[in-house]
Amino acid sequence: MIPSNFQPFVNNRPICVLARATLEHLFEPQQLDELFVRTAVKQYSHKLLFSALVEMMVAVVLCVEPSVHAAYIKRRHTFAVTDQAVYDKLQAMELGISAALVADSAKKAARVIDELGARRDPWLPSYRTRILDGNHLAATEHRLKELRTIWEAPLPG
């Protein structure tokens, strides 16, 4: 099933290969486009497919590309639209589509988590617990200049 020239990657970097395979399974283009068609209320797919946007945004989120524009420039030969059309589509993305994407991904990932026996008990039974990661504050440095190099210093907000 795996080509022989790919075997060194499996042997030397199995976690990377596993992560890549997981992402490809979670964000399979045909399923993403079907999800979009089922979920979208106002938006439509004409020349710009939802799967192409997701693929581009995965590259940005995983820091493969530094920005949406850089990701678009690298892939512009695959898009039949302008960069402005990409920005407009991203800006007008319906909340229901994002929610459906998260729910669909969670449903697919749940099978793997259950198979590995990695499901955790709820922190607070009968409550939905969410984890908010505050690491984005480091990217938006608004602390006093004198306090920016001291980790114990108060954070913005």
What is the per-residue pLDDT across 108-150, written as a single tens digit (0 to 9) for each?
888 888 888 888 888 888 888 877 766 655 555 566 677 767 7
Output the pLDDT for position 124: 87
Predicted structure pTM score? 0.69
Look at residue 67 and tell me whether its pLDDT is greater than 70.
yes
Give the pLDDT mean for 12-20.
86
Is-contact 76 87, C-beta < 8 A? no
At residue 98 the predicted structure's pLDDT band, cuts being 50, 70 and 90, is: very high
Domain map (residue ranges) of the chain? 4-147
**Using CA atoms, how far apart are residues 85 and 102, in angstroms rounded to an integer?**
24
**Phi then psi for 28, rounded to 5 degrees?**
-65, 125
pLDDT at residue 52, rounded to an integer: 93
Residue 84 confidence (pLDDT) above 90 = yes
Write out the two tokens for 30: 């045909």
3-state secondary structure (DSSP) of residue 66: coil
Those residues whose C-beta lies under 8 Å from the C-beta of residue 74, and which sit 6 or more positions away, are: 59, 65
Flag the least confident range among 10-24, 61-75, 132-146: 132-146
